[in-house]
Structure 1
Amino acid sequence: MARLTEAAERVARTDDLRPIPVFGSDELARLTEAFNLMLRALAESRERQARLVTDAGHELRTPLTSLRTNVELLMASMEPGAPPLPEQEMVGLRADVLAQIEELSTLVGDLVDLTRYDAGEVVHEPVDMSDVIDRSLERVRRRRNDIQFDVHVIPWQVHGDSGGLTRAVLNLLDNAAKWSPPGGRVGVTLRQLDPAYAELVVADNGPGIPPHERSLVFERFFRSASARAMPGSGLGLAIVKQVVLKHGGALRVEDTVPGGQPQARRSMCCFPGVRYRLRPTPLTAPAAPQTRETL
């Protein structure tokens, strides 16, 4: 007991998270093992936080540097006596500033979502996945109205975090739309695998993902060579992975047609839940005739 007390005081005073040696198999030994599990979880949490801060600082530096450069150019052009910038160049600079602000906003929002899940700050409630998909599709269609979405979903309810599930589905659809050519098609299917699980399949006809990168696409800040010229934080699919795993699901990426050309891909996420019966739409009662009172 003295060793446990000393270790607890050491953790409170310092960052020393070394485990305590376990002796014997009595109640005190089991308590020591439980304490060591807590130390290990705390060490992993600190490691994730440190990695996130380091990666976030690296990712924020590039758009902030570009934004600062463009703002300085705009400010210099407004100085008294400075030669005016050509109208086309001015329009381009303003567009770049807005795009960089949007990129920073997206990155900060993604970081907030990741830290929220790392901290366990979620509320679980019944979530209608077909409704989540419909609302996410509305947002993606506004951004890419040149893409056809083929949608086939079943009524499926998950006990989970509504905000997190919505963000995960939206990120999957956004990613598929981003890589689809103009006039392309994206398939969105929610199908039942067995009594306890359903699978969301999002298939596009974009360039696909090389086999050696498929195990990396769901990692934080990973961006393939072909994606670095496109907007994005490298966190969208990492959020998908985090949300799916937190809900007891699984995910994978594969070719739409194995060995086919072009190498289109599909992303698959399965969620535990229950299928529910659709309620019949209530009939609308006929409107009562309007009357006017005479004063």
Structure 2
Amino acid sequence: MDPRPVDRPGDGPVDRRWRYRRSLASRVTLLTTLAVGISVAFVALGAYVTVRMQMQSSLDESLMSRATQAAQAPAITDQETGSEIPAFRLVATDVRIGMMYADGKYVWYDRIGDPPRLGKAEVEVARDEAGSSIRTVRVDGSSYRVVAVPYREGEALLVAQSLEGQQQVLSKLGIVMLLFGVAGVIAAGAAGWGVAANGLRPVRRLTTEVEHIARTEDLRPLPVEGHDEIARLATAFNQTLAALAASRDRQRRLVADAGHELRTPLTSLRTNLDLLAQSDAASTASALPAAARAELLDDVRAQIEEMTTLIGDLVELARDEPLTHVIATVDLVEVLDNAVARVRRRAPGVSVEVWAQPWFVVGEQGALERAITNLLDNAAKWSPEGGTIRVTLVDGELTVDDEGPGIAEADLPHVFERFWRSEESRSMPGSGLGLSIVQQVASRHSGDVEAGRAPTGGARLVMRLPGAPTPPPDAPGEATP
């Protein structure tokens, strides 16, 4: 049993990819709403704090001004009694008036409600240790803003005002901001949904068309409108469709051409085998002569060899992929020597002249040897009896010249096509896949191949492979998988 935990929905941290199960439109709407909500919250908080600080500052300036003026104003004489009335007793009734003494005792001249309790800050003003003080004092749930200014020696005048009115204003402001913030978030959500619905319409249309292609395998290109990201995505998808269509066409041609090429040797092989079977079943008098029987068997062997070569070529062409096999640093001169030795055994009537400089390629040795052998086999097939094949390898450019009739100009564009054979070569052995394999191997090794006319009048085939005249210093000594 696998001991690893199984992810289940609702398991908290385990279910951490929930957001990818949401639609793109819902994610855009959610992100837009969150962004606007956070912005509205910051703006509302900033406005609230700014208004609160401004109201607090205005109140402090007003209280300090009134307290200072009251403390400095001369006493007023009562016309009826002739007694003096301190000026601070005439301060408006919206504030509370008190007196703080140097010994820490204080008195409030009104008896309305619970008076604010004072402390060290006001005592310091009474003792002339501080020029003034202003602070907020809470009493039984009520808040007061208390100002203390010097009055007479050992005394400080107290002025206190309740903050209830200010708090009511701030509460109403908070409610208004909350309502507007909620409305803004709702409007942002609706706007985000509208933007997502309209902005993602091309994506939905593209998705529908891609699903149609996947369902019907109709590889016609998609219509592209505009120059935005969706248009670039559709263009890139059209390129993928074109590559897929080309690959499918190549596969169909390969299957069709392979079936066509296999039909002839199979038919001939079946005919020869039927003749041999009939000969074995016939009487001694009507049996095939030994020479005819041997000729039929040789023909069968040749056809089997031709089919084996054809099947091997088809398998090689089917490997239309990057290098995934055994890769190593390959000595191209050594590979060329092996290919030349093999061709000399196959075509003893043709001489091969080789002039090569050292060249090392990182790649697959077997594939490179097969490609070079195919080039030499092609040259040997077209060379006359006693002809010479000239092979040169200079700076990674392998040139093979023969003394045959050469390649017609009209045939040059088709030389490396699969199963393509010129009119002159259709009566000769071969499947028409050899040079296609050369082109594929060169392409897989980041090289190229081209055909032309040799100075001697024959064909010239050139294969170029990137590499270096010396092996790289970190090259492995042996092939590594």
CA contact (8 A) 1:171 1:240 kept: yes
TM alignment of 1:155-194, pairs within 5 A: 155-192=358-395
**Residues of 1 paired with 2:353 and 2:441: CA distance?**
24
Of 422, 432, 442 in structure 2, the residue corresponding to residue 224 of structure 1 is: 422
Residue 24, structure 1, aligned to residue 200, structure 2: no
Unpaired runs of 5+ residues, structure 2, are: 1-202, 474-481
SS in 2 for 1:134: helix
User: 1:134 corresponds to which residue?
Assistant: 337
TM alignment of 1:1-295, pairs within 5 A: 1-81=203-283, 83-117=286-320, 119-120=321-322, 122-123=324-325, 124-192=327-395, 198-257=396-455, 263-276=457-470
**Residues of 1 paired with 2:423 and 2:230: CA distance?**
53
SS in 2 for 1:214: helix
**Residues of 2 paired with 1:120 and 1:251: CA distance?**
17
Task: Let me know the Cα RMSD of the aligned residues.
Answer: 2.2
Identity, % of aligned pairs? 51
**Residues of 1 paired with 2:417 and 2:400: CA distance?**
19
**Residues of 2 paired with 1:17 and 1:71: CA distance?**
45
CA contact (8 A) 2:323 2:363 kept: no
CA contact (8 A) 2:406 2:459 kept: yes
Q: Which amino acid aligns with 1:148?
A: S
TM-score by length of 2: 0.52
**Residues of 2 paired with 1:122 and 1:107: CA distance?**
23
**Residues of 2 paired with 1:6 and 1:271: CA distance?**
45
Higher RCO (C-alpha 8 Å, min separation 6): 1
1:30: how far off?
2.1
**Residues of 1 paired with 2:417 and 2:213: CA distance?**
31
**Residues of 2 paired with 1:132 and 1:143: CA distance?**
17
1:125: how far off?
4.1
User: 1:290 corresponds to which residue?
Assistant: none
**Residues of 2 paired with 1:20 and 1:236: CA distance?**
37
Q: Which amino acid aligns with 1:130?
A: V
CA contact (8 A) 2:323 2:444 kept: no
**Residues of 2 paired with 1:212 and 1:41: CA distance?**
27
**Residues of 1 paired with 2:340 and 2:382: CA distance?**
16
201-210 vs 52-61, which moves further: 201-210
CA contact (8 A) 1:155 1:277 kept: no
1:200: how far off?
0.5
1:57: how far off?
1.1
Change (3 A) 1:225 1:18: closer
**Residues of 2 paired with 1:278 and 1:151: CA distance?**
25
CA contact (8 A) 1:154 1:190 kept: yes
87-96 vs 208-217, which moves further: 208-217
1:215: how far off?
2.5
Number of equivalenced pairs: 269
- Please list the CA deviations of residues 132-188 of structure 1 after superposition, one character each: whole Å capped at 9, or x if unmatched: 212212221221233322111111122334333222111001111122233322111
**Residues of 1 paired with 2:389 and 2:254: CA distance?**
32
**Residues of 2 paired with 1:39 and 1:254: CA distance?**
34
Change (3 A) 1:177 1:19: same
TM-score by length of 1: 0.83
CA contact (8 A) 2:272 2:300 kept: yes
1:80: how far off?
4.5
